[in-house]
């Protein structure tokens, strides 16, 4: 099972995207632990979870470089496509996360 963590300012809008990503994973028969956290909880969640992919919401895209330096190569880090985020396209966001870990 792979773990995908999404990050945004407060974790609210990203939680909706998580639900859509979970449904997309289920429809593909793929088991994944997908969850969202606010920026303030990233470090503690990274310390207690073996996160395979860290996806950064558009609102906090400015954190991308810092997170890449801090967590790669153990965790793949990227930002969420703004259009996919805006349309809450869970399937596309899941596909981009899985592509990072070659699944």
pLDDT of residue 11: 63
Q: Report pLDDT digits (tens) over 32-42.
A: 999 999 999 99
**Across residues 6-32, what is the average pLDDT?**
90
Q: How many domains does the chain have?
A: 1
What angle (nearest 5°) sits at the alpha carbon of residue 36, between those of residues 56 and 8? 40
Query: Residue 88 in contact with residue 20, Cβ under 8 Å?
Result: yes
Q: Which residues are catalytic?
A: 8
pLDDT digits (tens, 9 = 90+) for 52-98: 999 999 999 999 999 999 999 999 999 999 999 999 999 999 999 99
Q: What's the pLDDT band for 14 if we cut at 50, 70, 90?
A: confident
CATH of the domain at 77: 3.40.50.2300
pTM assigned to the model: 0.94
Q: Residue 39 sits in which domain range?
A: 2-100
Q: Sort 6 into a burial class: Cβ within 10 Å, 0-12 / 13-18 / 19+.
A: buried
The whole-number pLDDT of residue 102 equals 85
Per-residue confidence at 15, pLDDT binned at 50, 70, 90?
A: confident
* Cβ count within 10 A of residue 69: 9
Residue 103 has pLDDT above 80, yes or no: no
């Amino acid at each position: 099972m792979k773990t995908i963590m999404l990050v945004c300012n407060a974790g609210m809008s990203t939680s909706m995207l998580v639900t859509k990503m979970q449904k997309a994973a289920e429809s593909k028969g793929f088991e994944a632990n997908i969850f969202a956290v606010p920026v303030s909880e990233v470090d503690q969640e990274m310390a207690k979870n073996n996160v395979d992919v860290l996806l950064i919401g558009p609102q906090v895209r400015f954190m991308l470089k810092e997170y890449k330096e801090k967590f790669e190569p153990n965790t793949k880090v990227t930002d969420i496509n703004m259009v996919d985020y805006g349309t809450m396209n869970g399937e596309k966001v899941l596909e981009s996360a899985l592509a990072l870990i070659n699944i």
